[in-house]
Amino acid sequence: MRRILAYLGKYKGEISVTLSVKALATLIELALPYIMGLIIDCVVGTPDPETVSELKISIVNGIEALLVKTMARFSDSIPGTTVKTVEIVVWALIMIICAGLGVLGNVWANRRTSLVARNVSEDCRNDLFVRTMWLSPAQTDAFTVPSLESRLTTDTYNIHSFINTTQRMGIRAPVLLFGGLAITALQDWRLTLIMVAVLPLIFIAVFFLTAKGLPLYTRVQKAVDGMIRVVREDAEGIRVIKALSKKKYEFRRYDEENVRLAAIERKTNILMSSANPAMTFFMNLGLVAVVMLGAVFVNRGVSTSGNIISFIQYFTMISGAMMAVTRLFVMWSKASASARRITEVLETKAGLPVASEEEFPARKEESGIVFDDVSFSYTGKANVLENISFSVKKGQKLGVIGATGSGKTTLTALMMRFYDVSRGSVRIDGRDVRTIPEEELHSMFGVAMQNDFIAADTIEENIIFGRNLTHEDAVRAAKIAQANEFIETLDEKYQYSLTSKGTNVSGGQRQRILISRAIAGSPQILILDDSSSALDYRTDSLLRRAIAEEMKGVTTVTVAQRVSSVMSSDVIIVLDEGKIIGLGTHEQLMESCPVYREISDSQMGGAFLE
């Protein structure tokens, strides 16, 4: 929680002013029951010096003296009006003014606290989002995307609610609590002892419930992560779910997560909601004792009616303050669980720090991509890639082909250092990728993947993607990617608005937009990871021809299932279960690699069209 509260330092000046106004407004409110008792004992009735404090009598006498002088001057304009009547009206006006000032002060302070809470949660959310984008893929896998989404939404909301409520009640509740106790102690210390005796019972109950509630709120947030995961998966796969008539199956899957979340929430809410009834029970016991003893004291002539009435009002204020403190403890439990989850992300160290060239010296070799005896495992157990060695010169074309799960995408991920190799090294232009700063390394690449994302924006913005590129750059890239032809048929052309994930264009059109994005930045290395799977053979052939003609000098890595997509490559790798079983040109592999030859023969139609 300390890391989250550090965000308040930026607004400490504004918070100080707001809390000061809040405290002053609350102190004014505290005066109302005292004034009420004073009116009953000293203004409406005749004060008894034995039961009414000298302070009350002095205050009333001073007001009366002032009124007598004032009315003597204006006796002609207010005939028939008694001093007692005017005095009652004056005290009523004083109460109205105090109540009004209290309301205005609290309203102003509440608006400022809301603003501070909003700004703090915004700062926290921004830092959390930046850190989330900064995480390495391995760290993202460890946290899981649904959990990160939950931390950015539900957890930051819990922090916002806690900061907002704490500013509102964190100063008001103590002022009402301790201020009320101080005033009542001055009025009647015997009755005050009753309230003081009740408070330890309340604190013990709240502390016990808070200690039990914190672990439960952590479990609630983990259950929320699970539900978000299911919702996210269903939203992304809604077309497949409907196509396969699996809605009932997904309903059951969602219901299981929802029931699990509801069960944990129910247990948590039952425990934490018992705080208010327990506190109310103890406070009502105290209130009954105060009323009973107060009646006895009034009957014996050792206290006054006004004193008891104001005492009951203070008791009500103190009860409300205690309830507010209880709510703060409950919110603290929830916010602490959320803060711990947020801090886990904010304090995560760099998963892929830049290594020194002393550790991984640069090699004097031809520029290009080199995999030197690379092995890699996601879990540290079974290798996904094993003993991978090959080299591609700058400007050459590399083709990667193999069955699903053979490690094709993992190979490209290691090139871009989304993960670090378990053994061996990956070098670009002689430099180990572990020694190249992330921004420099990733600026070398243009990447288009089969299931890449498209934002809800125009086609042009999806191609430019926030980079310092022009409309002409977008058009050039679209022409190479064979996207310009269909874009020009749209009414708004490049200003045509795409929906999230590009659901208002076809699969082939969507892939061509993604390829345009990869090409637009004029990369040194272009990676096309199964990004033409939705293209027909003719469009695929035109795409590869345009890349070869318009992007000379660019190293192209094509990951594909079709031989026709890689057969023109200078180097083709055939992967099977993470191992290279074929390496060479198309002609060489047709002779030396039975698996490649089998794939080619089964796709003869594609090769023929080529």
pLDDT digits (tens, 9 = 90+) for 334-377: 788 888 889 988 988 877 888 888 888 888 877 789 999 999 98
Residue 115 burial (10 A CB sphere; 0-12, 13-18, 19+): middle
**Which of these ranges, 10-24, 73-87, 256-270, 587-601, has the smallest mean pLDDT?**
73-87
Assign 606 a pLDDT band (cuts: 50, 70, 90): very low
C-alpha pair distances (Å), 157 with each of 27, 154, 161 = 31, 5, 6
Among the residue ranges 149-158, 266-275, 584-593, the one predicted with the least confidence is: 266-275
Structure confidence at residue 571 (pLDDT): 92
Single-letter residue type at 266: R
Least confident residue range of 304-308, 399-403, 598-602: 304-308
CA angle (275, 280, 281) in 5-degree steps: 100
| Residue 80 in this model has a pLDDT that exceeds 70 | no
CB 358 within 8 A of CB 213: no
For residue 555, what pLDDT is reported? 92
pLDDT at 152 over 80: yes
pLDDT of residue 400: 92
Map out the domains of the chain with their CATH numbers: 2-346 (1.20.1560.10)
By C-alpha distance, which of 576, 573, 575 is closest to 558? 573
Confidence of residue 610 (pLDDT cuts 50, 70, 90): very low
- Pairing verdict, β 397-402 and 555-560: parallel
pLDDT tens digit sequence for 477-497: 999 999 998 999 988 898 999
Chain Cα centroid distance, residue 176: 34
State which H helix or E strand residue 68 sits in.
helix 54-73
CB-based contacts of 273-279 (< 8 A; 24+ apart in sequence): 274/209, 275/205, 275/206, 275/209, 275/326, 275/329, 275/330, 276/323, 276/326, 278/202, 278/205, 279/202, 279/205, 279/206, 279/322, 279/323, 279/326
At 309 the pLDDT is 82
What pLDDT is recorded for position 307?
A: 77
**What whole-number distance in Å separates Cα of residue 157 and Cα of residue 124?**
10
* Cα distance between residue 539 and residue 301, in whole Å: 103
Q: Taking residues 31-36, what's their average pLDDT?
A: 84
Residue 11 has phi, psi (to 5 degrees) of -120, 25
Which range scores top for mean pLDDT: 219-228, 299-308, 442-451?
Answer: 442-451
User: Taking the mean position of all CA atoms in its chain, how far away is CA 580?
Assistant: 43
Mean pLDDT, residues 62-76 taken together: 64
Q: Residue written as tokens 């190293």?
A: 555
Report residue 607's pLDDT band, with 50, 70 and 90 as the boundaries: very low
Mean pLDDT of all residues in 129-155 = 86
Higher pLDDT, 205 or 584: 584
Note the pLDDT of residue 506: 86
The amino acid at residue 185 is A
- pLDDT for 375 equals 93
Span 399-419, mean pLDDT?
88
The pLDDT tens digits for 429-467 are 999 999 999 889 988 999 988 777 888 889 999 899 888
pLDDT value of residue 34: 82
Which amino acid would we find at residue 489?
T
The mean pLDDT of 136-155, rounded to a whole number, is 85
In this model, does residue 76 exceed pLDDT 80? Answer: no
Residue pair 565/540 in contact by the 8 Å Cβ criterion:
yes
Please state whether the predicted TM-score (pTM) of the whole model is above 0.95: no
Mean pLDDT of the region 113-133: 89
- Residue 78 above 70 pLDDT? no
**Sign of the torsion formed by the C-alpha atoms of 374, 380, 381 and 382:** negative
Q: What is the mean pLDDT of residues 198-220?
A: 73
Q: Closest by alpha carbon to 583, among 595, 575, 569, 573?
A: 573
Burial (CB < 10 A; 0-12, 13-18, 19+), residue 207, is exposed
CA 35 to each of CA 57, 106, 215: distance values in angstroms, whole numbers, following the listed order: 12, 20, 46
For residue 388, what is the enclosing H or E element? Answer: strand 385-393
Q: Is 263 exposed, middle or buried (0-12, 13-18, 19+ CB in 10 A)?
A: exposed
Residues 468 and 470: their CA atoms lie apart, in Å, by 7
Q: Is the backbone of residue 522 left (phi > 0), alpha (psi -120 to 50) or beta?
A: left
What's the chain's length in residues?
Answer: 610
Q: For residue 22, which amino acid is it?
A: K
Type of residue numbered 184: T
Give the mean model confidence (pLDDT) for residues 136-145.
Answer: 84
